Structure 1
């Protein structure tokens, strides 16, 4: 039996629907009608012989098969865009001032930089690492060109790259004493993850005590690795020497986005988003 080829145009429509939660929003992003996007998804499902979306009262949700396909689709589109960029786009030169949220750095920055160097060998990168809200403020002041950071609750700004669970982490073997306040190692006030963690504990009626604070994420992680307390990280940023801790209230999810290209004119944005997703999915 001949294995059919996947149509990149259908995959692009599929990813757009998955990221925007519906056919109408995906059509607006792609410059197509809702019916045209719906037709693409129907053709894709006919090609695969499996449904990729569950149709809900409001919007859609990925089926199990759709969840499997989405990672492949993003990688295929990223590779396609990279090849086209190298073949037909004019070389990108100059300087890109890039802000990167500290939660993204430990496990994901190296593959991102490797991909950027491969795509844009003539581009000079200036990377500033910090907390998302501080980097975004710097971008708004014109001090940075693009920022890879987190959305605040209720925001729609930025281009969504991926969504991840916020998880409680501690050193292997760390024991939570239910009779004592939970010791926390945290970034300073203003950190969204800190706010989410404290709100979740308060809702659960669990006492806590911030016993360690540092403006450096790696220093916070070191405190947790040393057994001084519990902290929260995005699941994609889980570091060696830490493991997910069960039994604590859910802290929700975080959306990692690219900020700074509201007009969508930069030739770097789509390839950059592809590299970001690849850095997460291929680990």
Structure 2
């Protein structure tokens, strides 16, 4: 646990703290930072990483399937846990349990905990989470006007087209010129510290969480229950080694900030989602101290 604290949690906590401090002292415009991450850095990271990804298609398919099944279970658990709550609050709990922060939190944690190979697994999960967040998310919150308008919104994101371009290049066995490849690699390398700083700024300027019963329910399910379910589901699907570790680690991530963004966009119970984001981010620190050492003991 001490090793997990020093090598995995502490680097993430340090950058989050610096981001929170900078957000308060410098009064940074987090909207600009988020746009930079969403429309430039994350697409470049996805494109560059997919080009150099070393993994077998069958294992990646099982990993993505496990992630989506786990998200579906999270939706159902959130529904059952908040069954007696008002509709808007129940939807907020469902989204908070299902949509994890596999981007600006999950990617650096995976890199520190599992190395470059583990980072590649986390990247596949992150790319899957992009599609999940911007399709299932609006449907959970009761917005988006249906599936087709929601999908049109997804295809406006540069990361989707970068994923498609990288897959096309891999399919036809084309490689980029060395200079272009190195330039994109440098830009991709800037993504992880930037997205962590961005999360720190959001947490530092977001205020204190409102610790209501739905907030505790959603937080407990998200970081306390989902890792156990991920292990059982992944093992049943046949995932082993690094792929099983990647699925379990991704399930221990806090609720995604994008869940809060969507809740505001569709006028849902954004206060509940915002509080869950803050609380699960704090709770994920001791949870990771337990989960990371156990990853090496998985089959």
TM-score interval, normalised by the smaller of the two chains: under 0.3
Q: Which has the larger radius of gyration?
A: 1
TM-score (structure 1 length as normaliser): 0.26
TM-score (structure 2 length as normaliser): 0.25
Higher relative contact order (CA 8 A, sep 6+): 2
Q: Which has the higher strand share?
A: 1
Q: Which has the higher helix share?
A: 2
